[in-house]
Amino acid sequence: MDSPAEALAGAWMKRIGGVLDPHIRTHYLRYEVRKLPPELLAEMVEAAHARANAGHGGYTTLLLGLSVALGDHSTHELRMAAAQIARDSNLAEAAEFLTGGPSRRTMNPRDARLPNPVGGRRLTLGERKTLARKPDRRLIARAIRDPDPAVVEILLRNPALTEDDIVRLCARRPIVADVLRRVFQHSRWNVRYRVQRTLVRNPYTPLEIAIQLAAQLTAQDARAVADSPELDARVRDACRRRLTPAGA
């Protein structure tokens, strides 16, 4: 018989499996997560990881949805409380999933370079936000290089933006970590496999995001990440777990 945490993970996995819109899935999970005591959240995340590691694909989708839902500021206190309980209870994967941490490489936003001047002058933040809304391909290419997360947040909603654009954005180095976080939290883009893979491969990606997305990788890509010395050891370990058969 399943434990309450296992039963809850299974119920949520089935419910979101019938929802095609990732935006709706995220809102549903965030609403449900807020009702949980931190103890149950920690145990449920650990149970979902166990099922995902055993090859149940629906649970990797659940974990992706949970990671986006828990990225909202409204769940921060719950997430931190659950992370502490997971650490105290030796729930290793839940602790890693819930705790997060800085990326292996970091870039101070104040050190980021703005795109080249237009007409001989630097654009204001307001002007850059306005240009990020435009469908012009030249302006999109410029906005992709903008270091300000607020500009990128607007760009992500631009209907003319393509997956290739997002992959180029996520591959940039150095890059402000919060820019990559905004991509991860966007329901239009965080379900795209090439975007997920590029985020995992970028050492500037926040640690918890890279670890969470490692579960989405194919065996071939997980093996490449596991062998990459430029990535955080915890990201490489997450990929090794992805490659290890359950019970091995």
How far is C-alpha 114 from the geometric centre of its chain's CA atoms?
25
| Per-residue pLDDT, 83 | 95
Model confidence band, residue 1 (pLDDT cutoffs 50, 70, 90): confident
Place of tokens 């391909």: 137
Model confidence band, residue 40 (pLDDT cutoffs 50, 70, 90): very high
* pLDDT tens digits along 160-178: 999 999 999 999 999 999 9
Average pLDDT, stretch 209-218?
88
| Per-residue pLDDT, 114 | 65
Instruction: Please determine, for residue 15, whether its predicted confidence score (pLDDT) is greater than 80.
Output: yes
Using CA atoms, how far apart are residues 248 and 216, in angstroms rounded to an integer?
Answer: 20
Average pLDDT, stretch 95-121?
66
| Per-residue pLDDT, 137 | 95
Instruction: Please determine, for residue 112, whether its predicted confidence score (pLDDT) is greater than 60.
Output: no
Using CA atoms, how far apart are residues 123 and 139, in angstroms rounded to an integer?
Answer: 13
| Per-residue pLDDT, 221 | 97
| Per-residue pLDDT, 10 | 97
Q: Do the Cβ atoms of 162 and 170 come closer than 8 Å?
A: no
Model confidence band, residue 141 (pLDDT cutoffs 50, 70, 90): very high
| Per-residue pLDDT, 106 | 62
Instruction: Please determine, for residue 191, whether its predicted confidence score (pLDDT) is greater than 90.
Output: no
pTM for this one? 0.79
Model confidence band, residue 103 (pLDDT cutoffs 50, 70, 90): low
Of 56-70, 80-94, 95-109, 145-159, the poorest mean pLDDT is in 95-109
What are the backbone dihedrals phi and psi of residue 118, each rounded to the nearest 5 degrees, phi first? Answer: -110, 125
| Amino acid letter, 172 | R
| Per-residue pLDDT, 115 | 65
Model confidence band, residue 215 (pLDDT cutoffs 50, 70, 90): confident
Q: Do the Cβ atoms of 51 and 9 come closer than 8 Å?
A: yes
Model confidence band, residue 88 (pLDDT cutoffs 50, 70, 90): very high
Three-state DSSP at 118 gives: strand
| Per-residue pLDDT, 113 | 64
Using CA atoms, how far apart are residues 45 and 94, in angstroms rounded to an integer?
Answer: 5
